[in-house]
A and B are shown apart, each in its own frame.
Chain A
């Protein structure tokens, strides 16, 4: 079981807005550590999508946005496109035990 909890799947029609949740704990988000989001297209390596909660790397469309509050974080995608169909992972640092970089279990986004 992942330290960060994501829904296994979400779906939406083209043009719609979808959100993906990521629930953490007092040892990661609650301790003030940032959340980052990655997009993994089929058969490819993960790509950094959102860093430090709300920031987009150069080249990432502004249709993608992130937020974090307390022990939860959310990735929002507006104007959904077929090319957005992918797996999405949240990631943070967890200071329980000896400390570790941790990922959510991933969410499969299906564009209907």
Chain B
């Protein structure tokens, strides 16, 4: 069974950098079968795809966030990470990591439980 678990600070100050890590079990991120994504959901609102990383290190980001986002991976720990710089209150959200899209597909089949990150001084 594939499981993903997000970890990181729950509170970040405005203008600082948000950093989260996703630990994957039940699958290897060092595989060409899937990309690995970050998705967020502001309180009471809908879902927004942030970006993905491939086992090769190839990344692709949402154009609306591209200038502030970096996704990296650590295959030795089967983890991938998100950095979002210059955060504001608008970045307050539950952040999910997810498996997907699959190579040749467009869906996300396994999700972490999510972690709430609040941006506040």
Interface residues of A (CB under 8 A from B): 2, 33-34, 36, 38, 44-48, 51-52, 57, 89, 91-93, 97-98, 100-106
Total CB contacts across the A-B interface at under 8 A = 59
Interface size on B, residues (CB 8 A): 19
A45 and B47 alpha carbons, distance in the complex (Å)? 11
A100/B62 in contact, CB under 8 A: yes
Q: Could you tell me the distance between the alpha carbons of A38 and B107 in the complex, rounded to whole angstroms? A: 10
Which B residues, 77 to 113, have Cβ-Cβ distances below 8 Å to chain A?
96, 101, 105-113
**Chain B residues positioned under 8 Å from A52 (CB to CB):** 105, 107
Complex: chain B residue closest to A100, CB-CB: B62
Q: Using known A-B contacts A106-B46, A106-B47, determine if residue A100 contacts B63 with beta carbons closer than 8 Å.
A: yes
Residues of B within 8 A of A (CB): 37, 46-49, 62-63, 96, 101, 105-114
Q: Using Cβ atoms and an 8 Å threshold, which residues of chain A touch B109?
A: 48, 51, 57
Tell whether, in the assembled complex, residue B46 and residue A105 are in contact, meaning their CB atoms are under 8 Å apart: yes
| CB-nearest residue of chain B to A50 | B107
Write the chain A residue with the least CB distance to B62. A100
- Taking a contact as CB atoms under 8 Å apart, the answer to whether B47 and A103 are in contact is yes
CB pair B49–A45 under 8 Å, yes or no, is no
- A34 contacts B106, C-beta separation under 8 Å: yes
Complex CA–CA separation, A101 to B113 (angstroms): 20
| Residues on A with beta carbons closer than 8 Å to the beta carbon of B106 | 33-34, 36, 91-93, 101
Report the bound CA distance from A100 to B96 in whole Å: 17
Most chain B beta-carbon contacts within 10 A, residue among A34, A57, A100, A105: A100
